[in-house]
Chain A
Amino acid sequence: MKLTLKVWRQQNSQDKGGFETYQVSDVSTDMSFLEVFDVLNERLINEGKDPIAFDHDCREGICGACSMYINGRAHGPWHETTTCQLHMRAYNDGDTIVVEPWRAKAFPVIKDLAVDRSAFDRIIQAGGFISVNTGNAVDANAIPIDKVDADAAFAAAACIGCGACVAACKNSSAMLFTSAKVSQLALLPQGRPEHQQRAEDMVAQMDKEGFGSCTNTGACEAECPKGISISNIARLNREFIGAGFSSKA
């Protein structure tokens, strides 16, 4: 296949940036989306040009590093698929593909398609933990946990922190991410002791980072590669309301 790529190029966070158009030929339908960028970058390097910066690590859909906003869709057109797992059979010969970085004030562009997602780390640091002594692993069955709750906590824990929810949301809201991190702990007995403080601290940090507020459009859920449900946002809202009434601090 022959494809036209219109890619956002930006030297650094200060640079204004703009689109560059590249023609790539001999694209195989078996290639992943990132492999097309590898091929293109190799060519740019051989031509003595600056390769396109983009984030990637595992390339198997589990790390959350890859992040591209492709033709108006976070991680491209496939449902519950990260950019690294998107394959070129999704496209036809002659297609034009527009690739942009995640756009949010809280995710400043570092270079080209790579953005700084450390705001997510700070939200987790604000409360996404439980305070226990580490050391010997405790017996997995020491605390009985309802299977339904365990499954729901596990589903929330599937969040890979990729930021597609923020990228897809018209308000750049981080509610889906934050709600997943609050839920995975709030649903388990180990997470209960600090659950109210956690909800308050993580929401406060989320606001401080400059993410927008949720208007329940559901775009995050539609684009999340891990299928995180907005029922987690409802749980975060319940946790937060409960904390408002009776948190200790």
Chain B
Amino acid sequence: MKWSQFFNTSIGKKLLVGATGLFLCSFVIVHLAGNLALLKEDGGEAFNTYAAFMGHNGLIQFIAWGLKIVILIHAVIAIQLTFRNRTARPVKYAVRPGNKTSSWFSRQMAIMGSVLFIFLVVHLAQFWWVMHYGEIGKVSYGAVTEVGNLYEVVWFAFKEPWIVILYVLGMVALAFHLIHGFKSACQTFGLNHPKYNGLISFIGVGFFGIIIPLGFAVIPVVIFFKQIS
């Protein structure tokens, strides 16, 4: 089988969704680690310095563009598979088993993924676009001069209750997507072994499903309450 045929099979496409999904999983770890600097009340020094470094390092810029392409590949192939799966059952059942035979999370992947996609569009427009192409105030910290004050933009955005709610909902969708997504990607790559299944579940549910989304969700909530008090 040629690679072109391979990636046109159902398994080949699933492998692309899984590989891009795992890449995105590794991205969210790095992204969260950097974002935690937003919680420092240092006038934005740590966060803005970090954001300026990310914005100017060539390799990181390359990865950042790759990331947007990866999200698109992931979403497009996943949606394509979802439609194919829908047409595989033209007449639906009158009675369905609900959660008796599969987990709720595992059946909501396309929905949660789509919510995430909408969230990502809003999120990128709000911060990434403004940082790169919009009007942004400049600040200097000692050796670091004239960097964009993204810290201020973020703090300003999270004064607005509905934006905070949107971010929390986005992270709920991320949690639900990854509770099944990480385990599912491992299975797609053939990683299913009694010695490691416990660990895979723990990482998928505990780390990607709870800790990471919770870490992200805490940021807008804390910033909101700090500003109203």
Judge whether B10 and A241 touch: CB under 8 Å: no
Chain B interface (Cβ < 8 Å from any Cβ of A) = 1, 3, 5-6, 9-15, 81, 84-85, 87-98, 100-103, 106-107, 109, 180, 183-184, 187-193
Contact among B3, B85, B101 for A244, CB-based, below 8 A: B3
B96 partner residues in chain A, CB cutoff 8 A: 72
C-alpha gap A236/B190 in the complex (Å): 8
Judge whether A203 and B9 touch: CB under 8 Å: yes
C-alpha gap A98/B183 in the complex (Å): 34
B192 partner residues in chain A, CB cutoff 8 A: 230-231, 233-234
Given contacts A212-B85, A217-B102, A222-B101, 11 further A-B contacts (CB under 8 A): A170-B85, A214-B14, A215-B184, A216-B184, A218-B102, A219-B102, A223-B101, A234-B191, A235-B190, A237-B188, A244-B1
State which residues 70-102 of A face B: CB under 8 Å.
71-73, 98, 100
Judge whether A214 and B101 touch: CB under 8 Å: no
Contact among B89, B95, B106 for A216, CB-based, below 8 A: B106
CB within 8 Å: A-B pair count? 131
Judge whether B1 and A230 touch: CB under 8 Å: no
C-alpha gap A105/B13 in the complex (Å): 20
Asked if A100 meets B84 with Cβ closer than 8 Å, knowing A216-B187, A216-B188, A218-B102, the reply is: no
CB distance from B7 to the nearest CB of A (A): 9
Judge whether B187 and A234 touch: CB under 8 Å: yes
B10 partner residues in chain A, CB cutoff 8 A: 173, 203, 206-207, 211-214
Chain A interface (Cβ < 8 Å from any Cβ of B) = 19, 69, 71-73, 98, 100, 103-106, 168, 170-173, 200, 203-204, 206-207, 210-219, 222-223, 230-231, 233-238, 240-241, 243-244, 247, 249
C-alpha gap A200/B12 in the complex (Å): 11
CB distance from A235 to the nearest CB of B (A): 7
Asked if A222 meets B102 with Cβ closer than 8 Å, knowing A171-B88, A172-B88, A240-B11, the reply is: yes
CB distance from A210 to the nearest CB of B (A): 6
Asked if A207 meets B9 with Cβ closer than 8 Å, knowing A103-B92, A219-B101, the reply is: yes
Judge whether B84 and A19 touch: CB under 8 Å: no
C-alpha gap A100/B91 in the complex (Å): 11
B184 partner residues in chain A, CB cutoff 8 A: 215-216
C-alpha gap A62/B191 in the complex (Å): 31
C-alpha gap A212/B90 in the complex (Å): 11
Judge whether A249 and B85 touch: CB under 8 Å: no
Judge whether A237 and B189 touch: CB under 8 Å: yes
CB distance from A180 to the nearest CB of B (A): 14
C-alpha gap A243/B1 in the complex (Å): 8
Judge whether B11 and A19 touch: CB under 8 Å: no
Judge whether A106 and B88 touch: CB under 8 Å: yes
A231 partner residues in chain B, CB cutoff 8 A: 192-193
CB distance from B34 to the nearest CB of A (A): 31
Asked if A98 meets B102 with Cβ closer than 8 Å, knowing A170-B85, A172-B88, A200-B1, the reply is: no
Q: CB-nearest residue of chain A relative to B12?
A: A244
10 smallest CB-CB distances across A and B, nearest first, come from: A234-B192, A238-B190, A212-B88, A171-B85, A213-B10, A212-B85, A72-B95, A217-B102, A172-B88, A217-B106
